[in-house]
Chain A
């Protein structure tokens, strides 16, 4: 057999001349095409060359084993062209059909390499088992000196093939070999990344997260490439991490994200590499290949990306936020969103990011951030779909963190300017927050309608319970005791079985307060006891003890009250509730320090002193009870010879309080000071002292006004002292002057409620223009401070009640009704109902007047209102109401009742007698029997007796001129009736009576 030597640099075998020319030419051309990577052309030439062999047997016969190299090259071209099936056949043929003699070695120099490439082709066909088999065979059979191969890529491919077969352990062994020896083999970074990618995919598919994590821990350094290079693979790692996350392999995903370097660091690294290359277009060393143009392009791309709205950093933080939140760690997601907003505000998803920042800030209770970023959100994305949610989050967070002033601003804007539609969750929230914020800031009058509206409109709201409690408590703060009582009872009943009992002790406390205000002491004690027993951790526990003490004190159970106050101190000190402790100390000082001026000092008076001292030493700083304690301790301090110290303290407190026009208790302090001062000084000295009170400045107007009122008070007392007419006159004059000065010198806004009421009453009672007092009362009633409210209502109602206008009268009734319903002072309620009856009469509403008068006068058990200070007046009004309705018999009967029961009360009895006489005379009923007088005779006789009884000097001398006039009217009518020929004079009556007795 003629063997052909192929014209290869490493083959020098002789071949026949003709065939040699053709085949050799083809082989040359094929090699040139291969070198030029013209694979299609090379394949055609190699295929043509292979055709020379017909079949292997013949080829070996014709050309020897060397012919196998042509088949190998053909296979290489097919491999390059991804014709894996053909390539496998070529490599199989090269390996099997042209076997070298092992001993001699041989002609087919690619026989072993064909195994390697056979494996590669099988790998291309995804026949991984075959690929692994062939590669392993190659490793066994290869000539270690001659058969060189790219070891890094080989082990990476081996790893990938194993991964594809789900053999993670074996695959990772090969990948580790490639990584560990990457500088020696070498293994290119790209190959390592491809291998690692296959590992991640296989681990996800299996799934076997731990295998992946173990590999990362062991080979992190080897997988990590320099930042400038790593950024090329960043997107691959992002994809792998996302796939891991999708496969619920969060820990693996986190590890994969950690491979991605910061864009800034990658840019930094690229700049250094570009600088170091200098003007060279490319540079290589070992596995290092640097192409300047490529690096510059990468740098530009990264710089653009970093300035863009879609950088890797943004994406990573978004994913981290998702991972943390998916695992309930909202603090983590909040942190990620916070960074996105602070450092990447250009992010494409900023609207989402910012919304989530507001949301997570709210969830973790970070009100500052909720507010801050909520405002940024609303300003930046005013039309966002998240807008209602953001508003909601801001309000919720602020409200539940107690930022009520801001809530009022925000929710007020929403409600007042109708920024959300009614009957929506947003409106529900805003209404609740606004009402609740007014409630918590003590603006009870503003809170009331909002809370009422919320409860009516949103009974199913998530805030329903809170709103119900606020509504009830708010009404109690407004001192509408009876209404508050009903609401609180309803609340306690409705939510008695609710798992959330946080409001229950608060409602019990408010209810106990209502009871206390309405003098229902036993129920008040029952409620405080419930708080103490059932809610020992309640925030109002110490306050409940104080209230219990108050009630027990009213019930004269002073020892028990003292125990309760001491308990309040004990708990308050543990909880650092200084307000409650100072209140309890005040209660103890006041209770133990109670003393009537005219009496001897009691045995416990001195016991008040330690509590007062404790107060001043530990709790006085900033305490609202300073004036109260300063006043309450006076007698106790005097009893231990510390009176001057106490008076000095009081003076100091007054001066301190004077600096704040809103100080509560200043009036009482000054009054108390006045009382003690007057023990050793004259009214004139007091006036002088108070006009220049130590420590009070010119602009402490409220305090100066109170001091003037105190002076007026002293002069008023003297003006009432009839025993010294000269002093009385002088004092009256002084009082008038002082009041006029006060009115002229002080603006309404400068004056406290006490002063306003005092001035209003003065104008109402003592001047000819009582309506001038209305602004004073209105000012008091417009303030959140509820002190002196009922006195102001009384003053205003009285003025309206004096009017002849129906509208005014109606206003008067409204004010009096308020007093009657809610005042805790019985005399105030008594007076209010009396005046209601009186105004109803004036309005001509006689039936209603009679109804209310009957209510007032009812003494039947269970129905009695317990009132009676104005029974004579009310009786007269009832009689008049019958009279006006021509119910003559009823009127006559009632007039009799009135003047019979209150004969000495001339202002009442005289008009009653007078009208009764008129009605009887007019009715003119004849006598119906021997002992029954006719109407006219009766009118004469009884009025005669009335005049006899009330006309005695001891009575008559005490009558006021007005009363005398009324009495004389009766006398005149009596005289007139006596002149009636049909009426027997008393003389005649008595004579007839004597005659009858004689007979």
Chain B
């Protein structure tokens, strides 16, 4: 192995963070046609890395990134733990964990798909899942997207523009953005977001019937994996039914001589009943239906 030990002075491109000496990221690296070895990267710029060959070493080596054929960053345990929390849908804890990882991994922020950037990205995702749009906007403001290379993550960054419009309750804008995104073939979890935001816009623009369709897409796009969106969609769709005067007439006339099974209100009441039962069975997530929405279940087919 021909490691070139360089002086910091010779590599002005490598700007090291203040606490860089305390940071280390395990990586498997190799030079062209050479065996890989484990290294501990302590800092990185767009063009260079500084690394140690043993964890305990105090010596470090600075080298051009282009000198390596492979720089494989091993997922650090704290990042793995944060991902576990995220996958366990413990978004608040996950957000805090990602924030810590983000902070700790700053020295390698310039590397592609580094854990500072990935943690920051997931932190924003946590804010989105928690519907904390202010937090989302704040982190997004300082987010540097260049290191991200996964297409789905880059597209997610674009979708934050839509979420920001939701934060601003700029419903016409949300509708335009979502309708444009609607035309793309998106992964289920992103389609669920687009449908949910579109539904919110339609709902707030008093286009309830269209909103119910979009909420239903949000509930189904990723098999309900975006649980909070699916749950919110169910609740909001049921809210639309509840506000519907025709549905209220059907409720009043239920079982009386005035009941009209051919009326629009009656049909919608049955829809609401089926949806409320579905929610009760599959979407509650510990958030049961309110008393007034729960009342819909009475009208469900036995």
User: What 10 A-B pairs are tightest by C-beta distance, nearest first?
Assistant: A278-B70, A221-B84, A262-B187, A221-B88, A335-B216, A328-B274, A258-B225, A221-B87, A257-B223, A224-B87
Chain A positions 182 through 202: 1 when the CB is less than 8 Å from some CB of chain B, otherwise 0: 010000000000000000000
Report chain B residues within 8 Å CB of A321. Answer: 220
Report chain A residues within 8 Å CB of B195. Answer: 335
Q: With A258-B225, A286-B74 as known contacts, state yes or no: A265 contacts B301, CB within 8 Å.
A: no
* Cα A334 to Cα B153 with chains together (Å): 29
Cβ of A961 < 8 Å from any Cβ of B? no
* Cα A283 to Cα B300 with chains together (Å): 56
Cβ of A842 < 8 Å from any Cβ of B? no
Cβ of A332 < 8 Å from any Cβ of B? yes
A343 lies within 8 A of B185 (CB): yes
Q: At the interface with chain A, which of B49-57, B98-106, B131-139, B254-262?
A: B254-262
Cβ of B239 < 8 Å from any Cβ of A? no
Cβ of B267 < 8 Å from any Cβ of A? yes
B271 lies within 8 A of A334 (CB): no
Least CB distance from A353 to B in Å reads 13
A364 lies within 8 A of B271 (CB): yes
B188 lies within 8 A of A262 (CB): yes
- Which secondary structure dominates where chain A touches chain B? helix
Least CB distance from A931 to B in Å reads 79
Identify the interface centre among A218, A264, A335: most chain B CB within 10 Å of its CB: A335
Least CB distance from B88 to A in Å reads 4
CB contacts under 8 Å to B, within A299-325, are 313, 316-317, 319-321, 324
Cβ of A279 < 8 Å from any Cβ of B? yes
Cβ of B23 < 8 Å from any Cβ of A? no
* Cα A334 to Cα B87 with chains together (Å): 29
A285 lies within 8 A of B26 (CB): yes
Q: At the interface with chain B, which of A50-58, A269-277, A721-729, A821-829?
A: A269-277
A332 lies within 8 A of B220 (CB): yes
Cβ of A327 < 8 Å from any Cβ of B? yes
Cβ of A331 < 8 Å from any Cβ of B? yes
Cβ of B152 < 8 Å from any Cβ of A? yes
Chain B positions 17 through 43: 1 when the CB is less than 8 Å from some CB of chain A, otherwise 0: 000000000101010100010100000
A324 lies within 8 A of B300 (CB): no
* Given A272-B150, A328-B274, 4 more pairs with CB closer than 8 A: A262-B189, A327-B274, A339-B217, A365-B264
Instruction: Name B residues whose Cβ lies closer than 8 Å to a Cβ of A.
Output: 26, 28, 30, 32, 36, 38, 68-75, 77, 80, 83-90, 113, 149-153, 185-189, 191, 195, 212-213, 216-217, 219-225, 237, 258, 260-262, 264, 267, 271, 273-275, 277-278, 281-282, 300-301
A283 lies within 8 A of B70 (CB): yes
Q: With A331-B212, A331-B237, A366-B213 as known contacts, state yes or no: A317 contacts B74, CB within 8 Å.
A: no
A331 lies within 8 A of B275 (CB): yes
From the candidates B74, B275, B277, name the one contacting A288 in the complex (CB within 8 A): B74
A265 lies within 8 A of B225 (CB): no
B258 lies within 8 A of A329 (CB): no
Q: Which residue of B lies closest to A537 (CB)?
A: B258
Report chain B residues within 8 Å CB of A889. Answer: none
Chain A positions 338 through 382: 1 when the CB is less than 8 Å from some CB of chain B, otherwise 0: 110001000000000000000000001110000000000000000
A269 lies within 8 A of B150 (CB): yes
A220 lies within 8 A of B223 (CB): no
Report chain B residues within 8 Å CB of A276. Answer: 70-73, 113
A324 lies within 8 A of B278 (CB): yes
Question: Could you show 8 A-B contacts with beta carbons less than 8 Å apart?
Answer: A221-B84, A221-B85, A265-B187, A280-B69, A313-B188, A328-B278, A332-B216, A332-B275
B281 lies within 8 A of A327 (CB): yes
B185 lies within 8 A of A280 (CB): no
Report chain B residues within 8 Å CB of A13. Answer: none
Report chain A residues within 8 Å CB of B149. Answer: 272, 275
Q: With A221-B87, A276-B71 as known contacts, state yes or no: A258 contacts B223, CB within 8 Å.
A: yes
Least CB distance from A289 to B in Å reads 12
Report chain B residues within 8 Å CB of A271. Answer: 150
* Cα A218 to Cα B38 with chains together (Å): 34
Report chain B residues within 8 Å CB of A83. Answer: none
Report chain A residues within 8 Å CB of B223. Answer: 254, 257-258, 260, 316, 319-320
Q: Which residue of A lies closest to B274 (CB)?
A: A328
